[in-house]
Chains A and B, each alone.
Chain A
Amino acid sequence: MALLEVRGLEVTFPLRGAALTALRGVDFTLDAGERLGIVGESGAGKSMAAFAILNLISEPGRISAGEILFDGRDLARLSDNHMRAIRGNRIAMIFQDPMMTLNPVLTIGTQMVECLKAHQKIGEAEAKRRAIEKLREVAIPSPETRFDSYPHELSGGLRQRVVIAIALLLDPAIIIADEPTTALDVTIQAEIMGLMIALCENHNVGLILITHDIAVVSEITRRLIVMYAGRIVEAGPTAELIAAPRHPYTRGLLKALPQKNRPGGMLHQIPGTMPSLAAIPDGCAFHPRCEHADARCRRSVPALRDVGGRLVSCHHAERIS
């Protein structure tokens, strides 16, 4: 059985009169120690999916349908107290911008120790020892002194290491990383990503990697989910998906990458922009930007269906590839 199973997840924002649906019918699973990638442009709903797992969607949004099965329990219906015991403990999260993730007025040590104490009955000295041990594990130089530092005294790369250390503190079963390297210098992106992968492997932690960069996930995840306008448009084994995308949106994302074998060539761009939640087009949400769109695409929403061992939601999935 899968470690985490998300079924028919739907998130809505009730606003005056109308309700905006931010996520619709999202299904996926994650096995123990597995690495799953979720890609899409900003606004596709990938971060929303991540926050929904931890029940941390910002007000007034809420999970309006679906279930999130973890450890035999449905996280979508768990009480606040039970949910709190899972957050940071069994499922941890790594945020995008390490400059904003750590509280500026608390020391690194305080922010680590409080997390340990929130989940385990443990003394101050023991908590400090374990925190320093984790700091050492993420290769932070002189962890004993860093323990008493404030976040602003550390570089962006070091801060993200601290955030990773906090995520690993309680040996979680799953880590959700939301664009963990996007805000960092290009030179240290690979380094941080490498560290994260290595640690997840060592501790057999399942990783959900959320990113807009299809190149990053293609190297490190086994399975891939592509999202567009709050829906999954394509899902399957990473290697196959990259080699032969079946959804025009996935193709667009891949084409937008610089090609190694064609240096200097023109970069492809998907025309148009992601629609806002308030103005999702009828039919297939992608049709205004799609070169294959026809009358049917404008009229009916394509179902997510199995096409050659992979899930695709496109009326023309068989024609494309």
Chain B
Amino acid sequence: MDTLAFLIRRLGQAVVVMLVISVIGFSIQDNLGDPLRELVGQAVSEAERQALRDEMGLNDPFVLRFGRFLAGAVQGDLGTSYFFKRPALEVILDKFPATFELVLAASLIIVLVSVPLGVFCAIRPNGWVTQAIMGFSIVGISIPVFLTAIFLIYIFSIELGWLPSFGRGQTVTLGWWTTGLLTRDGLAHLVLPAIALSSIMLPLFIRLIRGEMMEVLRTEYVRFAWAKGLSSRRVWFVHAFKNTLLPVITVGGVQIGTLIAYTILTETVFQWPGMGFLFLEAVNRVDTPLIIAYIIVVGLIFVVTNTVVDLVYTLVNPMVKITGRAA
């Protein structure tokens, strides 16, 4: 059907956003990094510098230089890290598995905890358990993620000594992917960072799922489902929950971006060797190519997740097949 047209339009939009991100990345490089300084140092005369600039094409018009940047970027060439003396993209991608596994673990916690709690709070809106969960959730929303991380370290690592507080622990290499999920030590190291990262989203999702579900429970079609004599389980989990999912997916998609931003904080507190930790180091070292590589990789992750979320939304909601997002 028109799913194809929707797909194409959505991909076109993604390409435009990526283009804008690369323009930003390039402008940063253009204004921030001086490749000459890296190449020749200070002891070269101004005339020689100019000659070298011409030779390297640094005096070419913006469009030309951007074109070269883009051509390189598409082939995976985002410059060489000043500090690591290796291709910036390679350095970033080395750290990708660590961040990915952290986000994955946190998302798993979020889904496994917020769905049952959110649904429960919607079904029993007046019980004391619900009141307690909602009370905790507003406290939870008020604790910044880096503080949760600090408190977790203070309690579980320093005071109780149960869990490690920094690094990934022992990892296993599978091809180019290093995973901490296959060793006991790796998993133990993942626990606190994953909980800290999920802590900020949990209250939000519990409240979101509860709010949406309560709204759905008030609809005529849920009333009709009751009037048909269906079991509570069927009404709650098939009729109501499926309709609750749609807005939750949309908001969830947006929140994945926020989750990646919070990995920078979590990774900093736990010295987790992921992309965010690397990025902050790069900022402190003014390692421009690495900064730009991070921006472009993260931009790509944002765009890809948003596109995937839109597609999933289309699959779940029978009504958007033709019209796009409108219901």
Contacts and interface: CB of A to CB of B under 8 A. Distances in A.
> Does A touch B (CB under 8 Å) in the complex?
yes
A93 B225 CA distance: 10
Interface residues of B, number: 24
Given A114-B230, A118-B234, A103 B225 contact: yes
A88 B243 CA distance: 22
A115 B229 contact: yes
Interface string B82-122: 00000000000000000000000000000000000000000
A267 B85 CA distance: 89
Contact of A106 (B219, B226, B239): B239
Nearest to A166: B228
Contacts of A88: 227-230
A56 interface: yes
Interface in A92-131: 92-93, 95-97, 100-106, 114-115, 118-119
A54 B225 CA distance: 12
Interface stretch (A27-35, A68-76, A79-87, A132-140): A79-87
B221 A103 contact: yes
A152 interface: yes
A152 B225 CA distance: 17
Given A93-B224, A95-B223, A97-B220, A104 B231 contact: no
A184 to B, nearest CB: 15
A105 B229 contact: no
A100 B318 CA distance: 16
A167 to B, nearest CB: 9
B285 interface: no
B186 to A, nearest CB: 40
Interface string B207-234: 0000000000011111111111111001
Contacts of B239: 103, 106
Contact of A103 (B218, B226, B243, B317): B243
A173 B319 CA distance: 35
B242 A105 contact: yes
A89 interface: yes
A26 B221 CA distance: 27
A56 B239 CA distance: 17
A91 to B, nearest CB: 9
Contacts of B223: 56, 58, 95
A92 B227 contact: yes
B242 A95 contact: no
B228 A87 contact: yes
Contacts of A100: 219-221
Contact of A87 (B218, B226, B243, B316): B226
B221 A118 contact: no
B221 to A, nearest CB: 4
Contact of A89 (B221, B222, B229, B242): B229
Nearest to B319: A152
A84 B318 CA distance: 29
Contacts of A87: 226-229
Nearest to B246: A105
Nearest to A152: B319
A161 to B, nearest CB: 15
Contact of A115 (B221, B230, B317): B230
Interface in A243-287: none
B160 interface: no
B212 to A, nearest CB: 13
B322 to A, nearest CB: 10
B43 interface: no
B241 to A, nearest CB: 10
B219 A118 contact: no
A56 B227 contact: yes
Contact of A95 (B220, B238, B316): B220
Contacts of A85: 229
A104 B227 contact: no
Contacts of A97: 220
A155 to B, nearest CB: 15
Nearest to B220: A100
A152 B229 contact: no
A95 B224 contact: yes
A10 to B, nearest CB: 22
Contacts of B317: 105
B222 to A, nearest CB: 8
A320 B221 CA distance: 43
A104 B220 contact: no
A114 B220 contact: no
B242 A106 contact: yes
A118 B231 contact: yes
Nearest to A112: B228
Nearest to B219: A100
Given A105-B242, A150-B318, A152-B319, A84 B231 contact: yes
Nearest to A50: B227
A54 B226 CA distance: 9
Nearest to B316: A105
Contacts of A93: 224, 227
A42 to B, nearest CB: 15
A309 B307 CA distance: 70
A104 B243 contact: yes
Given A101-B221, A105-B242, A105-B246, 14 more contacts: A84-B229, A85-B229, A86-B229, A87-B226, A88-B229, A96-B220, A100-B219, A101-B224, A103-B221, A104-B318, A104-B319, A114-B234, A118-B230, A150-B318
24 contacts: A58-B218, A84-B229, A84-B231, A87-B227, A87-B229, A88-B228, A88-B230, A92-B227, A92-B228, A95-B220, A95-B224, A95-B227, A97-B220, A101-B220, A101-B221, A103-B225, A103-B242, A104-B318, A105-B242, A105-B246, A105-B317, A106-B238, A114-B234, A115-B228
- Lowest 6 A-B CB distances belong to which pairs? A87-B229, A88-B229, A88-B228, A100-B220, A93-B227, A150-B318
